[in-house]
Amino acid sequence: MSTPRKTLPLAGSERAPLEGAREIGPANPNETVDITIRLRSRAGKKPILNSEEFTKPIEKRTILSRKEFEQRHGADPESIVRIESFAREHKLIVKEKSPGRRTVILSGTVAAMNQAFGVALKEYDHPTGKYRGRTGAIQLPAELHDVVEGVFGLDNRPQAKPHFRRRHGRAGARAATVNLSYTPVQVATLYDYPTGVDGSGECIALVELGGGYNPTDLSTYWSQLKLSKTPTVSAVSVGNGSNNPTGDPNGPDGEVMLDIEVCGAIAPGAKIVAYFAENTDAGFLNAITTAVHDSTNNPSVLSISWGGPESSWTQQAMTSMDEAFQSAAAMGLTVCVAAGDDGSTDGVTDGLNHVDFPASSPNVLACGGTELVASGNTITNETVWNETANNEGATGGGVSDVFPLPSYQNGVGVPPSANPGKHVGRGVPDVAGDADPSTGYVTRVDGQPDVIGGTSAVAPLWAGLIVLINESIGKPAGFVNPLLYPDASAGGIFNDITSGNNGAYSAGPGWDACTGLGSPLGSQIAAVLRTPATSTQAKRAGT
């Protein structure tokens, strides 16, 4: 009789049922499940990012090609061989393997997955719908622990939500000032975006975890805006995801169309590619890594408008996604992420404050929200977006419970967390832009005109700015945070938002946990990113 193989729990893989979920019973043992195994880098624990590299002026940065990155930081082929052997042993099929993405996708029955990973998959009923879940940690053979970083997809609960808000309208005295709407082109003008460039030669990647777009709606929208060019939009299916419009403007179609229409209107010469995946931790991770490593479309900016409170994620998921963002930076991609629409609690009802992930990753540009009031081409007032009293949301922001304070935020005034213990961590957001639906964006969704806001609009707003800058520089700006913070301290490249709050945190001069450094002065930001950094800037950025 053979001795059972020793297994160990995979650190950071622990799961608990969703709050309010009811266990129905064991998952169907014959159901087919696809799971994603994220492998460790062949470089071991050597960091992907060299912090000094990103304080250099953009033209002097070393940017790795996707092939170079795979050779330096991809999965070791031997690691993939070991996973293939594990799969054969447990009657699992290898559906996909990508050394660059450090990803192997396996397929098999629930029964086989239970046996392979030491879990007991069950069906749960939740107010948001049924899902397949597990509790506790995933178990792995001891000999795989040095090569596996995470295992995703056993649990298929919805992992994230879109960060857009449709306008409900306002009555009374405030209606004259807040029932405003702008096209993305008008917002770009108010924020002084660079002119003479349109994003030609650039590609913007969008992560979408549901819904879809209708090309006819887009054609109508571009025509109404009288754009000089018509943006090229295409879809990439990741796993079982696809461009699948629901026909419901209140659903995820609103997110997809908002993302495309905002960045497409600002950079009509750019190619826009939407990566559609299932709304699970596996789907989200695979969409990110597929976009980042896409050598066919070669995106230089990734815009993400989906997320959830840090407390809703496993540590393995946050680690793997954060490393994917480090990979993006090494290959010259800027990642813009919405900071959330539920104020400083991020919608959690435990009495504490929370920030949204992936916006809390220190390797992304986290985008918060404002209320923007303008007359003609002039901003007359800009404050923190907070309409919780009207059930229209508020910008996310605060202090991460997971990620430490990054060097580029040293000395900018990130406060201790408002939670007990006063934890010091990564401050969210980095930047801001118009997000209040009462001063929202003119859009078209499922055949109907609409006005939409939310920090979901701010991520593609900044993505559009970055590709305009990329075109003007002739090189991708990549990870911009270490360059923006020093210059923001000197003033003149942001509209500093000093009025308002998002719950536990208030705006004030300089960086704050509501609107970060502020909303963009686009042409000035472009000039800074085109200008070699001074030694003083480099010191401030943390070298």
Q: What percent of the chain has pLDDT over 70?
A: 94
**Pairwise CA distance, residues 474 & 480, whole Å:** 15
Q: Is the pLDDT of residue 532 over 60?
A: no
What's the pLDDT tens digit per position in 304-317? 999 999 999 999 99
pLDDT of 534 reads 42
**Pairwise CA distance, residues 53 & 408, whole Å:** 13
Catalytic residue among 456, 471, 487, 519: 456
Cβ atoms of residues 244 and 427 within 8 Å = no
Q: Is the pLDDT of residue 176 over 90?
A: no
Q: Judging by beta carbons within 10 Å of its beta carbon (0-12, 13-18, 19+), is residue 19 exposed, middle or buried?
A: exposed
Q: Identify the sign of the CA torsion 110, 111, 113, 118.
A: positive
Q: For residue 56, what are the β-bridge partners? A: none
Catalytic residue among 202, 208, 255, 281: 255
pLDDT of 46 reads 72
Q: How many CB atoms lie within 10 A of CB 123?
A: 17
pLDDT of 392 reads 86
Q: How far is CA 224 from CA 9, 185, 228, 267, 351, in A?
A: 56, 12, 12, 16, 45
Average pLDDT over residues 129-140: 96
Concerning whether 23 is annotated as a catalytic residue, the answer is: no
Task: Give the CA-trace dihedral at 339, 340, 344, 349, to 10 degrees.
Answer: -140
Cβ atoms of residues 230 and 493 within 8 Å = no
Concerning whether 259 is annotated as a catalytic residue, the answer is: yes
pLDDT of 490 reads 61
Residue 347 carries which DSSP code? T
Cβ atoms of residues 340 and 395 within 8 Å = yes
pLDDT of 282 reads 98
Catalytic residue among 253, 259, 356, 512: 259
Q: How far is CA 338 from CA 126, 272, 334, 351, 428, in A?
A: 26, 18, 13, 23, 10
What's the pLDDT tens digit per position in 434-456? 999 999 999 999 999 999 999 99
The total number of residues shown for the chain amounts to 543
pLDDT of 6 reads 85
Q: How confident is the model at residue 489 (pLDDT cuts 50, 70, 90)?
A: low
Give me the residue label for tokens 């964006």: 441
What's the pLDDT tens digit per position in 326-373? 999 999 999 999 999 999 999 999 999 999 999 999 999 999 999 999
Average pLDDT over residues 68-80: 95
Q: How confident is the model at residue 533 (pLDDT cuts 50, 70, 90)?
A: very low
pTM across the whole model: 0.95
pLDDT of 390 reads 81
**Pairwise CA distance, residues 364 & 51, whole Å:** 14
Concerning whether 219 is annotated as a catalytic residue, the answer is: no
Q: How confident is the model at residue 178 (pLDDT cuts 50, 70, 90)?
A: low
Our measurement of the distance from residue 11's CA atom to the centroid of its chain's CA atoms, rounded to an integer in Å, reads 24
Q: How confident is the model at residue 542 (pLDDT cuts 50, 70, 90)?
A: very low
